[in-house]
């Protein structure tokens, strides 16, 4: 039997060993971002903004100019970068604790203003780097270091669905939620990412893609079980699909 190459490493993706935990989805999302930048011939003109958390190490893996933002402030930094250099393609790379908690104000106003930037939002329902605390996206019943008995709806409320919230804002041109647990979903994710990048390139407004991802270490699961959790627990609460697309009129009032 001969081996068949499933994919080749995109040139913008650094040829180095990952430091991420086994089964972590960040490496998959990095590859999709690198492939899309390469396919759209954006690499030389891109400036990325990475936020504090596991997402901050983007500069080690995707070979583009990168600015490190304070925790939660990536959309604000990206706004400044894009306004100073409107000729550049600008995207942020953020986790759920960063974007949906510490940086909730920044992401909401950036989207509402219709800033010409794109956001890659990795939702693994937990704070990864800082100790496995409950995040705004933590599912009801999910155990974390700050809710060891599981998130309680009565005291902590329901998990926040960011893609739907972003879609409701006037400046948003594209908002979608995807997953990285199957080949089918990976193909859908790449299409969504390209659309989020295209609306910026075409000057249509703010682009947003939420990736449902794993965190086996803080979930205390094997890599295989963590991947299954996306399908069995996350997708039923965080449905996949486009919530707004100005190019088709979907979600546009």
What are the pLDDT digits (tens) for 44-59? 999 999 988 888 889 9
Global pTM? 0.95
Q: Where are the domains of the chain?
A: 26-245
Distance between CA 160 and CA 100 in Å, rounded? 8
241-245: strand order across its sheet: 65-68, 46-50, 89-95, 118-123, 206-212, 172-179, 241-245
Q: What is the pLDDT of residues 133-179, one digit of tens each?
A: 899 999 999 998 889 998 999 999 999 999 999 999 999 999 999 99
CATH superfamily, with its number, for domain 26-245: Thiamin diphosphate (ThDP)-binding fold, Pyr/PP domains (3.40.50.970)
What confidence score (pLDDT) does residue 1 get? 67
């Amino acid at each position: 039997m001969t081996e068949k190459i499933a994919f080749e490493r995109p040139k913008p993706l650094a040829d180095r060993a990952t430091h991420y935990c086994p089964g972590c989805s960040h490496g998959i999302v990095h590859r999709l971002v690198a492939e899309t930048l390469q396919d759209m011939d954006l690499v030389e003109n891109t400036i990325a903004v990475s936020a504090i958390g596991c997402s901050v190490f983007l500069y080690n893996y995707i070979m583009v100019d990168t600015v490190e933002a304070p925790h939660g402030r990536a959309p604000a930094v990206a706004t400044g970068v894009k306004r100073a250099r409107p000729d550049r393609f600008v995207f942020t790379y953020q986790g759920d604790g960063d974007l949906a908690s510490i940086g909730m104000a920044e992401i909401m106003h950036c989207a509402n203003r219709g800033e010409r930037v794109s956001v890659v939002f990795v939702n693994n329902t937990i704070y990864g780097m800082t100790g496995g605390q409950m995040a705004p996206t933590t599912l009801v019943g999910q155990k974390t270091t700050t809710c060891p008995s599981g998130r309680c709806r009565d005291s902590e409320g329901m998990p926040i669905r960011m893609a739907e919230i972003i879609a409701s804002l006037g400046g948003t041109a594209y908002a979608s939620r995807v997953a990285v647990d199957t080949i089918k979903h990976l193909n859908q994710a790449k299409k969504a990412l390209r659309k989020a990048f295209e609306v910026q390139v075409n000057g249509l407004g703010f682009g947003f893609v939420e990736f449902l991802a794993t965190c086996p270490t803080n979930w205390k699961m094997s890599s295989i079980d963590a991947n299954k959790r996306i399908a069995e627990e996350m997708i039923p609460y965080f449905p996949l699909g486009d919530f707004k697309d100005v190019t088709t009129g979907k979600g546009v009032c």
